[in-house]
Chains A and B, each alone.
Chain A
Amino acid sequence: MKYNLNFADYFKKFTLVSIIFVLMSLLFILFKGLNYGIDFKGGTLIEIRLENDAVKVSDIRNSLKKIDLGDVNVKNFGEGTDFLIKIERKLNNNEVIITEIKETLNQNLNEEVNYRRIESVGPKVSSELLKSGIISIGLALLMMLFYIWFRFEWQFSLGSIIALFHDVIITLGVFSALSIEINLSIVAAVLTIVGYSMNDTVVIYDRIRENLSKYNRLEIDQISNLSINETLSRTLITSVTTLLALFSIFILGGAILKGFSFAMIMGVLIGTYSSIFVASPVLRYFKVSYKTLEKKEEKIVP
């Protein structure tokens, strides 16, 4: 399908919208903070399944009150008889406490509890995981910056990085606003979002570069508009196939992959939006024109 939509007229409005969203996200991240899971904060996570469907969250909470565990968070997880118990107390050696919890639960709930999953992360390991998570996202952004710089001109490199920051900040902002837990798989999701958003941006930039040399009388906004339109059907089809795959994980992939696939779905939507309404409009602020390309003429036509 051939599109001829007028995006350029809305560039300024959408820039404003993007700025507002980024600022709101920053406010959330700074003041409400991120809900770190045990991977990054340390603590213990226990997933149990019960036979008896009469047991309620409060029953489990009450029985755990008998041992001194500090902050305990119990909630339903997936099916009605599945529960997730989160204990924030940091342990250097988890050996004793888990046994104690198991004994208490087995006694109080009067049945054989099925322990589906136990995760326990010590304070030192969790701070290391957080550090390496932050480093890996930072490094990914940096490598993208250099890659685009190497393949395009610096203006494009800056534009794509602005778009990436936009995506990462808003994704984290939504996580903060909805209090969704940040764990290792969310870091993986954010990195994949970075890759996907970049992928989307590169496709449009490639076309902008091509069109700049083809129509040297057009303004950059018009070039952007034309390029977005020319690549729009690809952008939409790819987003749809990726979203189809992601929704399938989100709905059918089980409770463990829910957070990951949710982050990815959001990331794909934000990433697609940002390549059109962030990465392309910013080029005008860097005074991109056909002259920008002159030095590298031989690279333009594939």
Chain B
Amino acid sequence: MLNFTKIKIISIYFIFLFLAFFAFLNIFSNENLPLKKKVNLGLDLQGGSYLLLEIDTNPLIKERLQDKVIDIKKFLRKNNFSYNSFKINENSINFIIGDDNTNKFQNLFFSKKDNLINPYIDQYRAHQLDLVVENKNYKIEFSKYGLLTLNNAAVKQSIEIVRRRIDDLGTKEPTIIQRGEKRIVVELPGLKDPSRIKSLLGKTAQLNFRLVTDKDNDFGSEKMTLDDGEEAIVNKKIIMSGENLIDAQPRVDSQTNKPMVFFSLDRYGAQKFGKVTTNNVGKRLAIVLDNQIISAPVIREAITGGSGSISGNFSFQQVTDLALLLRSGALPTPINIVEERTVGPDLGKDSIISGTISLVIGFALVVLYMFYKYRFFGLIANISLISNLLMLVGVLTILEATLTLPGIAGIILTVGMAVDANVLIFERIREELRTEKSIIHAFDMGYSRAKITVLDANLTTLLATIILFFFGSGPVKGFAVTLGIGIITTLFSAYFIARHLTSSYVLKNKESVKL
């Protein structure tokens, strides 16, 4: 175990220097370096906000079912089914068909070609809707795969809208990624107070323009309240929605000096808006945002220029936010913030300082103790400990890993546990020295006999960290990464670097070696 071939020595130190080189990249944060790899600081160290969003698909499911109603009714009439008790529940459409022709219905409902009401999804080889027939009661609901496609489309679109809203605010380097089926992770480094972003994300911002009517009829209109408590009956028919907006900007009305949102419409929107306003001069136009009237002005004249403004009792901040929401578009479905972790910049700074201090002190204590216990060989163990740390940081740099506070704890723990490999070996050598006459032979035996123990002992810890990595969340993952890599670099430094140093010392000073 004490003989090293030249090639082996060269490769050991090449690997070490290679990894250590990357570790040093963190110190020279020069922009001009060709290699810009660096260990990133986690949100808990640099400060910032982590938000976990979850889309709520229930309103969307109901909405999509509602969209099907007219088509399904048409389908029933066209095929001469006499139906009654037609109603929509939270997630299903229900009706009763008196005659006994379930088979005919099923064949038509599940036809694969040009099926408009129940499209066939090739990707999953399944239909969008499921049918349950019980005693002439028909129940139509989304199938598992129908829900999945609905959900996936909603998540994708939500991510896009969330990104637009956050980018619009000018936050630096946001991370926005999907997690699982329904969730979106938003990381906003350096953000002190996420409340504005949270309130912007909390709104779906579905905007539409509808006419206010006087007629109170159940099917075509609904009652809504205005800001000032006034009730208005609003036609359900949507003249134009937020999709037709191409831009929205906050402005100040030059006459009233009040803030307002100035918007411009695309061609289709402009035409429609022009037509409706021409025909309804004198009536009131309700501007509805997320099922609430935000303003209901009287149409004074036809608006054909393809632009207009929304004014009401707004502050300038509200107008700015409203314009932003309208510009970035509506979320397909509401999203909830299900987890938030925000760390202020000064706590982050404090954590870096206390983390570094405890690392330095812990390291110094371990180094001193090893020197006290093993003298010269303690120095070797310490050199291997330092090279171990350099390699650990080097690997973290290559992976561009994120260093969190628990990650720093992982490094400190590595310092404490890394010496274990050398302790095991040195203790074994001491035992061998008691029975063995040849010092060189004792060292050789010590290394080879301790090998299995060192491997077994470290693999068990590695197993635990692997589990932690896969099941842990957020900062805990950072701990698993540093501890896991630390174990591998520990094995390398103990069995290659420290062993090489020991062997060259022992082979040179054959008889005077003391351990």
A residues sitting closer than 8 Å to B (CB atoms) are 2, 47, 49, 92-95, 98-99, 102, 114-122, 124-125, 129, 132-133, 135-136, 139-140, 143-144, 147-148, 151, 184-185, 187-188, 191-192, 194-196, 198-200, 202-203, 206-207, 230-231, 233-234, 237-238, 240-249, 251-254, 256-257, 260-261, 264, 302
User: How many positions in chain B have a CB within 8 Å of any CB in the partner chain?
Assistant: 76
B346, CB-defined interface residue at 8 Å: yes
Partner of A245, one of B354, B365, B449, B453: B365
Complex-state Cα separation, A191 to B359, whole angstroms:
21
Known: A188-B480, A202-B453, A245-B366. A253 touches B358 (CB 8 A): yes
Known: A246-B413, A254-B351. A129 touches B473 (CB 8 A): yes
Question: Is the pair B461, A196 in contact by a Cβ cutoff of 8 Å?
Answer: yes
Complex-state Cα separation, A2 to B335, whole angstroms:
66
Question: Is the pair A185, B195 in contact by a Cβ cutoff of 8 Å?
Answer: no
A-B contact count (CB 8 A): 236
B420, CB-defined interface residue at 8 Å: yes
Known: A188-B406, A202-B456, A247-B362. 13 other contacts (CB 8 A): A95-B195, A117-B344, A119-B340, A121-B338, A121-B339, A132-B473, A147-B459, A188-B476, A191-B465, A199-B457, A245-B413, A245-B416, A256-B351
Question: Is the pair B416, A246 in contact by a Cβ cutoff of 8 Å?
Answer: yes
By a CB distance below 8 angstroms, the chain A residues around B423 are 234, 237-238, 241
B370, CB-defined interface residue at 8 Å: yes
By a CB distance below 8 angstroms, the chain A residues around B420 are 199, 234, 238, 241-242
Of the listed residues B361, B365, B457, the one surrounded by the most CB atoms of chain A closer than 10 A to its CB is B457
Complex-state Cα separation, A233 to B425, whole angstroms:
12
Nearest-CB distance from A195 to chain B (Å)?
Answer: 4
Complex-state Cα separation, A198 to B363, whole angstroms:
24
Within 8 A of A (CB), among B162-200: 193, 195, 198-199
Partner of B424, one of A102, A191, A196, A234: A234
B293, CB-defined interface residue at 8 Å: no
Complex-state Cα separation, A159 to B146, whole angstroms:
51
B150, CB-defined interface residue at 8 Å: no
By a CB distance below 8 angstroms, the chain A residues around B436 are none
27 A–B contacts from the bound complex (CB under 8 Å) = A93-B202, A93-B337, A124-B338, A125-B52, A132-B473, A135-B471, A136-B472, A139-B471, A140-B464, A195-B462, A199-B458, A200-B457, A203-B424, A230-B431, A238-B423, A241-B370, A243-B416, A244-B365, A244-B416, A246-B362, A246-B412, A247-B362, A249-B358, A252-B358, A253-B355, A253-B409, A260-B409
By a CB distance below 8 angstroms, the chain B residues around A254 are 350-351, 354-355, 405
A contacts with B: majority SS: helix
Complex-state Cα separation, A129 to B471, whole angstroms:
9
Would you list the 4 A-B pairs with minimal beta carbon distance, nearest first? A245-B416, A248-B362, A195-B464, A136-B471
By a CB distance below 8 angstroms, the chain A residues around B342 are 115, 117-119
Question: Is the pair A192, B459 in contact by a Cβ cutoff of 8 Å?
Answer: no
By a CB distance below 8 angstroms, the chain B residues around A202 are 453, 456-457, 460
B residues sitting closer than 8 Å to A (CB atoms) are 44, 52, 54, 193, 195, 198-199, 202, 336-344, 346-347, 350-351, 354-355, 357-359, 361-363, 365-366, 369-370, 373, 405-406, 409, 412-413, 415-417, 419-420, 423-424, 427, 431, 434, 448-449, 451-453, 456-465, 467-468, 470-476, 479-480, 483
Question: Is the pair B456, A119 in contact by a Cβ cutoff of 8 Å?
Answer: no
Partner of A99, one of B52, B195, B412, B451: B195
By a CB distance below 8 angstroms, the chain B residues around A92 are 336, 338
Complex-state Cα separation, A87 to B362, whole angstroms:
35
Known: A94-B337, A99-B195. A242 touches B413 (CB 8 A): yes
Complex-state Cα separation, A241 to B344, whole angstroms:
34
By a CB distance below 8 angstroms, the chain A residues around B412 are 245-246, 248-249, 253
Nearest-CB distance from A86 to chain B (Å)?
Answer: 15
Question: Is the pair B461, A143 in contact by a Cβ cutoff of 8 Å?
Answer: no
Nearest-CB distance from B498 to chain A (Å)?
Answer: 15
